[in-house]
Amino acid sequence: MWGRGAAPGEVGDEAMRAVDYQTDPSRYRHWRIEFDGEVAYLVMDVDQAGGMGDYELKLNSYDLGVDIELNDAVQRLRFEHPEVGCVVIKSGKDNVFCAGANIRMLAKATHQQKVNFCKFTNETRLAIEDASQNSGQAYLCAIRGNAAGGGYELALAAEHIMLVDDRRSAVALPETPLLAVLPGTGGLTRITDKRKVRRDRADVFCSTEEGIRGRKAVEWRLVDEVVPNSRWNETVAARAREFAARSDRPRQAKGVRLTPLARRIDGDRGDYSHVAFEIDRARGVALVTVRGPSQGVPDTLEAAHRRGADFWPLAVARELEDAILHLRTNEAAVGVVLFRTEGDAEAVLAHDDFLARADGDWLMREIRHYLKRVFKRIDVTAKSFIALIEPGSCFAGTLAELVFAADRALMLIGTREGDNRAPATVALGRANFGFYPMGNGLTRLETRFLGEPATLEALKGKLGEAIEGETAQALGLVTAAYEDFDWDDELRMLLEERTSFSPDALTGMEANLRFAGPETLETKIFGRLSAWQNWIFQRPNAVGDQGALKLYGSGVAPTFGRERV
């Protein structure tokens, strides 16, 4: 089993030493959820002794374990509580909101751990924004005490920020003066692009250790309102009710419980109901197989709701996400991921059509946006993805997104000798033309055929068509199509070549190529900010023996190399 006994979010001492991204409110150590009708309060009350390593989580600081719980809470509020129209993030401690990412954790973490921590935290912040934008579940942040670094970055993900006016509480992004790093979960981008803070003011703000408070924070657009301490609780509650009243979420609907995943991960293999993976450690390759629906489309919307977490689109989203996060975090040496599918392509398209017809239903909307976020996790994962389209596969509609998310896609022409399954095909569905936009705001097909609007329009005329190898290659849907007698050799040579390259160079190349088209807040965070943070986390000024992260709190000033690069 997973980690052979490692607790949720912890790094076990056994052979796998795996981080587990699955948890539930009964196991939370750092968050609690309180309900008041249409308003939920997400209370950050970090257990100081509950870190994932040898450090204390003082002042509501956080590590990956804290963020795993937050991610779980955001998901559950969307799926299990349709009655909630507003979520208020607040602190459960006196005189502090959140001190940000735990500095001791960052100082002790490996480079890979730091980067994956920042990436997952970014994804969680974006999920909060997605809930406000697309789910009718607005997030409000109520800051009482100091919100510094990642604590203020958490607030920046909310739609509305309130700050108590008590002459002590402040917001700050002090990473540059204190730690020689950056606000790595999107802080720089959100204050300029989202909150439209003037560049020179942003420069002052990010260079000021003590932060900014009171009316000045409102004037500079760092928060939306300040509230006197005497009216704090009643004003926060009133504002939350205002936001909840605007929501279109069905107040009388019954939520869908996100039951524990049926999974077994043991060494080189992982098995779920609809997903499986197998690792070839000698080559550094993982094969991920996604299976199509085992049940037909529900007869009615009510029947789909009754299936709950077992409804195929929701089940496959949860399982694929867990597998991707496991490979990303726990299998750093696995550099190439092969995608295969098995099942009935028509059944996949039928489920897509069901989601499209039920577009006005809150649950079907949530499932679509969840699948969107899972595919986005693939887009920002530092591994090479290759789709293999073979006889018996079901790369259709939603599952065809795996083809378009891959760095390359290979397709077998016709059938394999001795295989009585139908020829390999790929099929486009309605899902490929708008269900799952990337971080750049475009669909994967729009990104793939950037500058080719005529090609994109022609593909819309092929909805539901089973497209075989040579035609798929001619249409640009796959990278290459091979006959049976060439397939094994071509795949072997591709894998040998890919695994011979520098992993660092591949990560940089793939990250640059995946996001063609317009720049957005999200692409800036992952493309620019993450790249800079990645570089800074390797520089002696931050992580060297005399660097700011290593010496923080010691009373010794860091020694910086003064050469600008």
User: For the segment 13-71, what is each residue's pLDDT rounded down to a tens digit?
Assistant: 333 468 999 999 999 999 999 999 999 999 999 999 999 999 999 999 999 999 999 99
| Nearest partner of 86 among 233, 258, 245, judged by Cα | 245
The answer to whether 117 touches 100, Cβ cutoff 8 Å, is no
Mean pLDDT over the full length of the chain: 94
Phi, psi of 322 (to 5 degrees): -65, -40
Radius of gyration for the alpha carbons in the chain, expressed in angstroms and rounded: 24
Task: Give the distance, in angstroms, between the CA of residue 364 and the centroid of all CA atoms in the same chain.
Answer: 20
Q: Name every residue whose Cβ is closer than 8 Å to that of residue 25 and which is 6 or more positions away in sequence.
A: 32, 33, 72, 73, 76
Residue 39 bridge partners (DSSP): 36, 86
* Per-position b or e across 548-565, b if 16+ CB within 10 A of its CB: bbbbbeeeeebeeeeeee
End-to-end CA distance of the chain: 47
Q: Name every residue whose Cβ is closer than 8 Å to that of residue 484 and which is 6 or more positions away in sequence.
A: 412, 413, 414, 415, 416, 417
Q: Quote the CA–CA distance of 27 and 144 in Å, as a whole number.
A: 26
For 339-364, the pLDDT digits (tens) are 999 999 999 999 999 999 998 999 99
Mean pLDDT of 477-484: 97
Whether 545 has a pLDDT exceeding 60, the answer reads yes
- The reported pLDDT for the residue numbered 527 is 86
This prediction's pTM: 0.95
Q: Quote the CA–CA distance of 559 and 551 in Å, as a whole number.
A: 10
Instruction: Choose the weakest-confidence range: 43-47, 142-146, 185-189.
Output: 185-189
For 484-518, the pLDDT digits (tens) are 999 999 999 999 999 999 999 999 999 999 989 99
Say which DSSP state 433 is in: G
Instruction: Choose the weakest-confidence range: 122-126, 185-189, 244-248, 374-378.
Output: 185-189
Question: Two tokens at 103?
Answer: 């500095």
Instruction: Choose the weakest-confidence range: 221-235, 296-310, 527-541.
Output: 527-541
- The reported pLDDT for the residue numbered 531 is 85
Whether 6 has a pLDDT exceeding 70, the answer reads no
- The reported pLDDT for the residue numbered 2 is 26
Mean pLDDT of 241-250: 97
- The model's confidence at residue 10, banded by pLDDT at 50, 70 and 90, is very low
Whether 5 has a pLDDT exceeding 50, the answer reads no
For 192-211, the pLDDT digits (tens) are 999 999 999 999 999 999 99
Residue 387 bridge partners (DSSP): 339, 409
Whether 7 has a pLDDT exceeding 80, the answer reads no
Whether 235 has a pLDDT exceeding 70, the answer reads yes
Domains of the chain as residue ranges with CATH: 2-245 (3.90.226.10), 264-514 (3.90.226.10)
